[in-house]
Every structure is written in C-alpha cells, then in structure tokens.
Structure 1
Amino acid sequence: MAKVVEMSPIIEEEVTLEIDGIEIVTFANLCPFELIVGEVYQIELDLTILDEFIIKKVDWEEYKIHQEGNGLSYTLQGKLDIDNRALDAGGITFEIDSEFLMDYGYLHEQYVQIRVNRITVDFL
C-alpha cells in the first residue's frame, strides 16, 4: 500500500509515493483510474534498469534509498536475497529480475548497492 503524495504537473507519469514513511519518486506505468493526492492505493513496484546492471558489495550494514538529483534514478542499498530475487532496502523490498542476478550468487545475504534508472509503479 502506498499514499500518493504528489503528482508532477510537468511529467504526467511522475508520481511521488509514501511507503512506510519513505518517500520515493516513481514512474507510473499502469494506472487504470484517476489518482487522488492523499489517497492510499494497492501498488506493485518494479525496478527499471536501462543501462548496465551495476551492483557492488558495501562494507557497512545500512539501508538507503537515495534519489540521484531531481530525476527518477536511484541508488538502492540494503541486504540482497538471491533466493527470493529481492533487495531489502529498509522498509521497502524491491524484487529484482533473475536475469540480472545470475552472476552474483556470492552476494547472497550481503549488503549491496544497486543503481536503477527508475522505480516503476503499477496501481492495482
């Protein structure tokens, strides 16, 4: 569940959400109805990686969701679960396509950083 905090007046698909107290700027991929600021919706998040998949192990056990500038790109940091194809970024768990993780089994249960081009949201 996520609360709609803001909708961009410039980019129709840009929606700011609050999930468990964390605000993220997302790209609305599927929205079969009109959104209302302040309302809570059932959603599904997806990570969009358009360029090279960049993942690196970090030496500190810290969770972060860091927006890069004012755009839609993010650096996500948290604990990687290869078996469930997920990154726990502290409050929000992101599913990662298995095709990106095939060569990174050695990072299972490790703290990592992943760069994504955008976080896509589908409103259900």
Structure 2
Amino acid sequence: MNCKFLAIAVAVILFCRPGHAQTGATVLDDFKPSSLNQPGQEYPQVNSQGYVRFRIEAPKAQSVVVSLGLGGTRGGTPLTKGTDSIWTGTTAGPMEEGFHYYHVTIDGGVFNDPGALNFYG
C-alpha cells in the first residue's frame, strides 16, 4: 500500500509542477551543441532555457519526428523540412536538465539520432 501511495505522489509531483509549460514563451537563440554529441557533430543543440533543437538530413523523407519531448498528442517533436532538404525542429518547451533516451522516426522507421552518442541501459 505504501509503495502505491509513493508512486502516485511522485507522479503528481512530476506532472503537476507549476511553470513547466511555457506557452508563448520567447525561446532564446543561444543554442550550443550537446555535450553528448558524436565528435564533430553540431546537433542536437540545447539552449540556456533547456529547449532542444534537432537537425536531421533526410532529403527523401516525408515525415521526421523526434520522440524526445513535450509533443503531447503529436507523439514527439515534429521536424520541418527546409528548402535545403534538411529537417529541423525545436522542442515545444524546455526539457529537464540531464540525460534523455529518445529516437528519430523517419517515414515510420525508427533510428538513433546520428548526431548523438548512443547509450544502452
């Protein structure tokens, strides 16, 4: 019984914190490469507020979505294809500082982010 109460209490604390959602917030353009990127890779990037920006080269793709972060019913962070055929996008809100598992879905196929180091655990 105590474990069930503790699990519910933790869930309430994690999901009901004030100030987590920042609808309409100004996102600072001070993005820097993540410390967990592959050597020489510029993306993903994180800014001082905790927003994460992704860049994926997939010129023939029709859809690219990153599972990391604040996508709600969208299922993640959808990326937008630029005129250069590079897909970019930024999380809808800031992420908690620390390590996050995530993946990239390109036209239904699931892949690791080629710019980030891979971890298993």
Is the strand fraction higher in 1 or 2? 1
Q: By the TM > 0.5 criterion, same fold?
A: no
Larger Rg computed on CA atoms: 2
TM-score, normalisation: structure 2: 0.28
Is the helix fraction higher in 1 or 2? 2
TM-score, normalisation: structure 1: 0.28
